[in-house]
A and B are shown apart, each in its own frame.
Chain A
């Protein structure tokens, strides 16, 4: 029958008109970030606000671009304290090697993908930037039994 294809096509467009839209109104709505989404690397804090990092420096060594900067000092009781830790996000590859290398799961890829800033300094993420900002659910993975 002549025109049946047109009728079918018209029906398809009418159906799609009434269906929900695929557009996400970005600043107001957010796209869903899956659990393994590779955003900017961020430190993990337990619910009490304590970092899991022990300052071993494996992430610093494993980073192919050397974007991680860490300074440590010795605290009383033979504990290593992390005084300064930063990631230059402009040069970060989001490869996840620091996350893979970390023996304590102290750093992970966060949901953060809005990486714009007004100054270059804004793009150096330090400890203060991460404290309490990582929205991911805290997973209390057991620490490996290695002596440091």
Chain B
């Protein structure tokens, strides 16, 4: 029974696959199984994004001594549903002077690139769409595609605020990509693999408590700060700074397209938090509860820190932003790499 609960989703996927395999050729059944799991992830992602938006509004309201949305549904739980319905009912406006192709394509790029990251995120034991042996590299590479989407949105809108926001976005995302990657290298060195599944399995030592954050505290700090900047979340939300740039690169977007931008932003954020939980907090590992529950608990707790930072910290200036990335985070990540290397060398010389 506990095996069934712990592996519910892989068992369900295999069951669907075997049902189709009973009357269809194997390869079609396999494709159907993959499509079913992908659509499950899409629905799951949408629900997660709605929950994140609701929690964000609620948590930040609590931090500001307010109550937050509490009217639509019990405790305001249906507020994001109402918001989405409103956005979908709105007129789809493409500005006259905008470049229609680039304008429309940018939303697609944003959403697809943020959904693609979920390919390598292990939600539980065996709950991964594809266990690539270069998983982390893949996730980092795909997540930087969003910079292109932002740039296209800013350029295609033909609006000065959108363009300024997009330029800032490009500068910021590309700068923070570097400390982000270097902070992950420490984890990869310890595990000896880039596959997310083997990184989680590597943390199963010490009875499941050899989480990488214990060995890589600096690495986690650098990862978390650069991830915040990469996601354009507050202290680093320069490209969406309301007081300066209206709304940044998505100034001209409304209705469904805006909803897609919103979706992409939160999907990205959740993916980064999930990667953080995978890399530094032992992913799905944990006692008693099923693995996927542990994974969600860890991810949501990491996301809570995002909310917490948004509720606390004011926006940094652009020069502070660049200084932080190049003068502090990058050297810290490099030093972390050096220490990790020496540590591994000493460990192998003395113990192994």
B62→A9 contact, CB < 8 A: no
Distance between Cα atoms of A69 and B66 in the complex (Å)? 44
Question: Max chain A CB contacts within 10 Å: which of B64, B312, B313?
Answer: B312
Q: Mark B56-90, 1 if CB is under 8 A from A, else 0.
A: 00010011111100100000000000000000000
Chain A residue numbers with a CB within 8 Å of B67 are 21, 23, 25
Closest approach, in angstroms, between the C-beta of A9 and any C-beta of chain B?
5
Closest approach, in angstroms, between the C-beta of A68 and any C-beta of chain B?
40
**Of the candidates A9, A12, A14, A21, which one forms a contact with B66 in the assembled complex, judged by CB atoms under 8 Å apart?**
A21
B63→A17 contact, CB < 8 A: yes
Closest to B311 in A: A13
A12→B70 contact, CB < 8 A: no
A13→B66 contact, CB < 8 A: no
Interface: B308 (CB within 8 A): yes
Closest to B65 in A: A22
B312→A10 contact, CB < 8 A: yes
B70→A21 contact, CB < 8 A: no
B312→A19 contact, CB < 8 A: no
A16→B66 contact, CB < 8 A: no
Interface: A75 (CB within 8 A): no
Chain A residue numbers with a CB within 8 Å of B66 are 21-23
Chain B residue numbers with a CB within 8 Å of A14 are 63, 308
Given A6-B313, A25-B70, A13 and B308 contact (CB-CB distance below 8 Å): yes
A12→B65 contact, CB < 8 A: no
Closest to A18 in B: B62
**Of the candidates A10, A22, A23, A25, which one forms a contact with B308 in the assembled complex, judged by CB atoms under 8 Å apart?**
A10
B70→A13 contact, CB < 8 A: no
Q: Mark A1-38, 1 if CB is under 8 A from B, else 0.
A: 00000100110111011010111010000000000000
Chain B residue numbers with a CB within 8 Å of A23 are 65-67
Closest to A14 in B: B308
Chain B residue numbers with a CB within 8 Å of A6 are 312-313
Question: Max chain B CB contacts within 10 Å: which of A12, A14, A17, A22?
Answer: A17
Those of B14-38 within 8 Å (CB) of chain A: none
Chain A residue numbers with a CB within 8 Å of B311 are 13, 17
Closest approach, in angstroms, between the C-beta of B65 and any C-beta of chain A?
5
Question: Max chain B CB contacts within 10 Å: which of A13, A14, A21, A22?
Answer: A13
Distance between Cα atoms of A14 and B308 in the complex (Å)? 8
Distance between Cα atoms of A22 and B64 in the complex (Å)? 9
Closest to A11 in B: B312
Distance between Cα atoms of A55 and B312 in the complex (Å)? 61
Distance between Cα atoms of A36 and B62 in the complex (Å)? 32
A17→B313 contact, CB < 8 A: no
Closest to B67 in A: A23
Closest approach, in angstroms, between the C-beta of B125 and any C-beta of chain A?
33
Chain A residue numbers with a CB within 8 Å of B62 are 16-17, 21
Distance between Cα atoms of A124 and B269 in the complex (Å)? 57
Closest approach, in angstroms, between the C-beta of A113 and any C-beta of chain B?
22
Chain B residue numbers with a CB within 8 Å of A9 are 312-313
Closest approach, in angstroms, between the C-beta of B69 and any C-beta of chain A?
12
Given A10-B308, A25-B70, A16 and B63 contact (CB-CB distance below 8 Å): yes
Distance between Cα atoms of A25 and B75 in the complex (Å)? 12
A19→B70 contact, CB < 8 A: no
Chain B residue numbers with a CB within 8 Å of A17 are 59, 62-63, 311
Distance between Cα atoms of A19 and B311 in the complex (Å)? 15
Closest to B71 in A: A25
Distance between Cα atoms of A17 and B312 in the complex (Å)? 11
Chain A residue numbers with a CB within 8 Å of B313 are 6, 9
Distance between Cα atoms of A43 and B13 in the complex (Å)? 74
B64→A16 contact, CB < 8 A: yes
Distance between Cα atoms of A6 and B309 in the complex (Å)? 9
A-B contact pairs, 13 of them (CB 8 A): A6-B312, A9-B313, A10-B312, A12-B312, A13-B311, A14-B63, A16-B64, A16-B65, A19-B65, A21-B65, A22-B65, A23-B66, A23-B67
Q: Which 6 A-B pairs have the closest CB atoms?
A: A23-B67, A13-B63, A13-B312, A17-B62, A9-B312, A13-B311
Chain B residues with a Cβ under 8 A of chain A: 59, 62-67, 70, 308-309, 311-313
Known: A21-B66, A25-B67. 16 other contacts (CB 8 A): A6-B312, A9-B312, A10-B308, A13-B308, A13-B311, A13-B312, A14-B63, A16-B62, A16-B63, A16-B65, A17-B63, A21-B62, A21-B67, A22-B65, A23-B66, A25-B70
